Amino acid sequence: MEIENILVVDDEEAIREVVSTMLESKGYHCAVAHNGRVAQDQIKKATPDLILSDMIMPEMDGIKLLEWVRQYDPDVPVIMVTAIHDISTALEAIRRGAYDYILKPFEKDQLFLGVGRALQHRRLVIDNRNYQIDLEKKVRDRTERLETALDQLERSYDDTLEALGSALDLKDAETEGHCQRVTAFCISIAKTMPVPDQYLPILARAAFLHDIGKMAIPDKILRKPGPLDDAEKVIMRTHCEIGYNTLTRVPFLREAADIVLAHHEFFDGTGYPRGLRGEQVPLAARIISIPNTFDAMLSDWPGGGIQFARG
């Protein structure tokens, strides 16, 4: 452990000598000052770990020095040294922030006990503060790391979705870019509505993946140039449930899965697969159906208007 520095402030040279000799015999390092003013100068040059100060001194007394130290460095404990008849002043010093007082004439053990306690108190205060600072830093670092990890996770989610979307584009080249366009329109529409911000990523994922179930639709139906017959329509329509079953297994896509299932429901109840009506159709599914239909109308997919039913 480092040697602790104690500043002994007393106008009587004999007392300064006796006290510092006693303390140095115990392994402390002592400096002395003969009044508060001189003590101030020394403290400014090198802050001690503890101050032992007489009460009555010329130029600047113990109480004034104490008040200054409390402002200058509240971590430095001050022990007031006082004569037995002056105990009320010592108590006043305690009220003003002195750590303790010691009565003159000194008893060696009493001095060591008081000094030991004050220094231990200071160490505890400093250790506690360092611990607090360290803890706050750790919390800040970990929060930062967590946020970075969450950002990366979010990005890798989106990369995964991109990959899924591209896989569908590969299979159904005729409708390439459909999911991206529907997503962009959905976000634009949602932003003009009272849709909470936290709903937007769910809407975006659902819009992007709304036709993912088409991965399981046979190519001869998916790419058929003409209108689908009734049996083919039945198969084509299963893409809603297939998409739902695929996505619902992924925890962060569960809400999007419900929307995917409902993306061909119509407000008037004539949609599929469940024939939901009005507000039974999730809001995001109602939003998706607008650009989904619109994009099909603008695209030159084979089959013309029939694509409304296919999209």
- What is the set of active-site residues? 214
Pairing of strands 29-33, 5-9: parallel
* Least spacing, CB of residue 172 vs Fe ion, in Å: 10
Q: Assign residue 59 a region: left if phi > 0, alpha if psi is -120 to 50, beta otherwise?
A: left
Partners of residue 7 on adjacent β-strands:
31, 51
Beta carbon nearer to Fe ion, 36 or 311: 311
Partners of residue 8 on adjacent β-strands:
32, 52
Contacts of 153 (CB under 8 A, 6+ apart): none
* Least spacing, CB of residue 144 vs Fe ion, in Å: 40
Beta carbon nearer to Fe ion, 16 or 286: 286
Beta carbon nearer to Fe ion, 282 or 311: 311
Beta carbon nearer to Fe ion, 103 or 235: 235
Q: Token digits for 283?
A: 């809001």
* Least spacing, CB of residue 147 vs Fe ion, in Å: 35
Residues written for the chain = 311
What SS3 state is found at 249? coil
* Least spacing, CB of residue 237 vs Fe ion, in Å: 9
**Sheet with 50-54, side-by-side order of all strands:** 29-33, 5-9, 50-54, 78-83, 100-104
Beta carbon nearer to Fe ion, 78 or 202: 202
* Least spacing, CB of residue 151 vs Fe ion, in Å: 30
How far from each other are the two terminal CA atoms of the chain, in whole angstroms?
Answer: 77
Contact 55, 90 (CB under 8 A): yes
Contacts of 189 (CB under 8 A, 6+ apart): 287, 290, 291
Give the binding site for Fe ion (CB under 5 A): 211, 292, 311
Determine whether 132 is exposed, middle or buried from the number of CB atoms within 10 Å of its CB (0-12, 13-18, 19+): exposed
